Chain A
Amino acid sequence: MSDLFKINITYSTSHMLFPKIVLGILAILAVTIGIQEFKKKKECKAKDKECFFMEGFDKLKLFGTLALFIGYIFAMEWFSFLPASIVFMMLFNLLYAGWHSKKSIIVSAIISIVTPTLVWYIFGIVFNITLP
């Protein structure tokens, strides 16, 4: 009987003992949540269809953010921090604030030059923090 409440810890496999327990708990919880959701759906009879994205969501800004972020990481590896940041800050600003008015583009340009330069100077030079 006491063996039931005993766990043998083998040195070579001990690294997987706890992850297996956690995965077991997660599986049980996932099934519980699944059943709850199924019940809820049945009760509501899917009267209002839930969508993953919000209604009328901004496709360009959402996927643009993801694409620019990935591009920004690669650009930092290839061109170093300051040039990559100036270019990508400009792109992020154009994406979020638009490029239809001249004034907006000028503001974007100022922000994209001033902020990375300031960050580069304060963090990289004054505080000596490692930058890409």
Chain B
Amino acid sequence: MFEFGMLHLAVALLGVVIGIIFGAIPGMTATMALAIFLPLTYAYDLHVSLYLLLGLYVGGISGGLIPAILINIPGTPSSITTTFDGYPMAQRGEGERALRIGITSSLLGGLFSLAVLWLFTPPLARMAIKFSAVEKFLIIVFAMTVIAALSKGNMSRGIFAGFLGVLTALVGTFNDNNMIRLVPEFLRVELIYGFSLLPVLIGLFAISQVFEEAEACMLSNRVTGSLLGNKVRKFSFKDFKGNFINIIRSSAIGTFMGILPGVGGSAASILAYAQTKNFSKKPEELGKGATEGLISSESANNGLTGGALVPLLSLGIPGDSTTAILIGAFMLQGIQVGPLFITQNPGIWNTILLALLICNFLMFFAMFFPIKLISKLITVPNCRLYPIIILMCVVGAYAINSGVMFDVWTLLLFGLVGYLFGKIKLPIPPYLIGFILGGDLEKYFIDSLKGAGGSLGVFFSRPIGNVIWVLIAISIIYALYDNRKSAKTA
């Protein structure tokens, strides 16, 4: 049914602890942690790898609350709203209490999203099994319009980045007629199969960060004195009294935002926080150290973890950039994620659910009790960590295809691409999702056309396809409306 043993528990704990460290150090993210540790999974089978990777994922998303509360710097983008109430609490001397409230909320959000993952993925996958190439093509187009819709006043750049990712995915051989395209003559041997996914991922998320930090002098967060406060008010589970609906609402927003492809944790927690403010009896207290706000932010961003796995395991579309790396892990083990995943691999599916459950509890215990030790993490200087990150990235990229130095060059190239994207304000997540889905997008497009003798009418000929067209239209209309609204307020 599922795999579990001491080794699984040990790697899950290792993953959670390393994830927390990555999450807690500002500038390092859960995505980066997964990208760097992926090569380690070569040595294990998929079950053990999943415990490690999901541990990194849960730990990485959760660890971000530590610097958010203690020094007002979100450790990961998804903990932005945690700073709003967490930091004022720390300033009042309630740092430890705030951390413990945040950690408990993270656990509750994570468990909620796990339940949604368990309930929603199988029916969605059953529906997706009936999809022909037309629906598969349209669902990817839908995924890309959703990314654009959530690019907040940056719609055209979001779509541009998405299609640029698709174009990058098309580099190499086209399987139908075995012709090579978009490859310069001198790289024909190296790029015959296109760019490898993992060096691209590690480059975009880890190496680009090294360049950004190098530009900013590698300034580390030097913090002195006790950050945890003088225990004016101690944590108690009574702090959650009256927050039941808040937890459910925020976790649900986080989880369902996670299901939409390409949406990061920051969008989920910002939306959940806004709703908490709308429904609050004392909205004026939010932003001044209200436990309500902190609970909302943390349950939403951990709600994302299970949510982002729903489209990955039912449709093969990653919910966010971190789950995109999980696709890499499945590919390494030769397993295809998509509508048939659960029926063909029931054991792996059960392992994923169990691993997520265990990782959420491990995260709770690894952060709740040794909180004093964990809070020291944010004082580790970046200048000592980044050389190690570079080393790990190089090892990872080189090992992906069992020793190809071109992959290390790819790593550097995409590190520079990611750095450049930051400069010209092109968002990386749509680019990455475009890159991952680009090959399939082309395949389904050509297959649909071939089946219909080249007629474009085929894309409007199927009932489920037409439903997806309606969803595409809704997301484009929302995108245009939201884009205009954001542009006006800017």
User: Chain A residues in contact with chain B, CB under 8 A?
Assistant: 2, 5-9, 11-12, 14-19, 22-23, 25-26, 29-30, 32-33, 36, 52-54, 57-58, 61-62, 64-66, 69-70, 72-73, 76-77, 85, 89, 92-93, 96-97, 107, 111-112, 115-116, 119, 123, 126-132
Contacts and interface: CB of A to CB of B under 8 A. Distances in A.
B164 A26 contact: yes
Nearest to B385: A96
Contacts of A127: 40, 42-43
A111 B176 CA distance: 50
Contacts of A15: 174, 176-177, 179-181
B251 to A, nearest CB: 36
Contact of A19 (B181, B207, B402): B181
Interface residues of B, number: 62
Interface string B173-196: 010110111100000000000000
Q: Which 7 A-B pairs have the closest CB atoms?
A: A15-B174, A92-B387, A96-B383, A127-B43, A130-B403, A15-B179, A61-B214
Contacts of A92: 386-387, 390
Interface SS majority for chain A: helix
A6 B398 CA distance: 45
Interface stretch (B92-100, B299-307, B446-454): B446-454
B347 interface: no
Contact of B216 (A14, A58, A89): A58
B391 interface: yes
B395 interface: yes
- Residue of A32, A64, A123 with most partner-chain B CB within 10 A: A123
Contacts of A64: 214
Nearest to A129: B399
A116 to B, nearest CB: 6
A56 B35 CA distance: 31
Contacts of A33: 156-157, 160
Contact of A22 (B166, B388, B398): B166
B326 interface: no
A129 to B, nearest CB: 5
Nearest to B381: A97
B107 interface: no
Given A65-B211, A96-B383, A11 B177 contact: yes
B159 A129 contact: no
Contacts of B218: 58, 61, 96-97
Contacts of B391: 85, 89, 115-116, 119
Interface of B: 39-40, 42-43, 156-157, 159-160, 163-164, 166-167, 170, 174, 176-177, 179-182, 207, 210-211, 214-218, 381-384, 386-388, 390-392, 394-395, 398-399, 402-403, 405, 408-409, 412, 415-416, 423, 441-442, 445-446, 449-450, 453-457
Given A6-B455, A123-B395, A129 B214 contact: no
Contact of B455 (A5, A16, A57, A65): A5
A69 B409 CA distance: 10
Nearest to B43: A127
9 contacts: A7-B456, A15-B176, A18-B170, A19-B167, A62-B215, A76-B398, A92-B387, A115-B387, A132-B394
Given A22-B166, A64-B214, A119-B391, A97 B412 contact: no
A75 to B, nearest CB: 11
A8 B412 contact: no
A25 B164 CA distance: 10
| Interface-central residue, B216, B217, B387, by most chain A CB under 10 Å | B387
B408 A73 contact: yes
B216 A129 contact: no
A103 B177 CA distance: 62
B383 A77 contact: no
Nearest to B179: A15
A65 B210 contact: yes
Contact of B398 (A54, A126, A132): A132
Contacts of B382: 96
Contact of A14 (B176, B207, B415, B416): B176
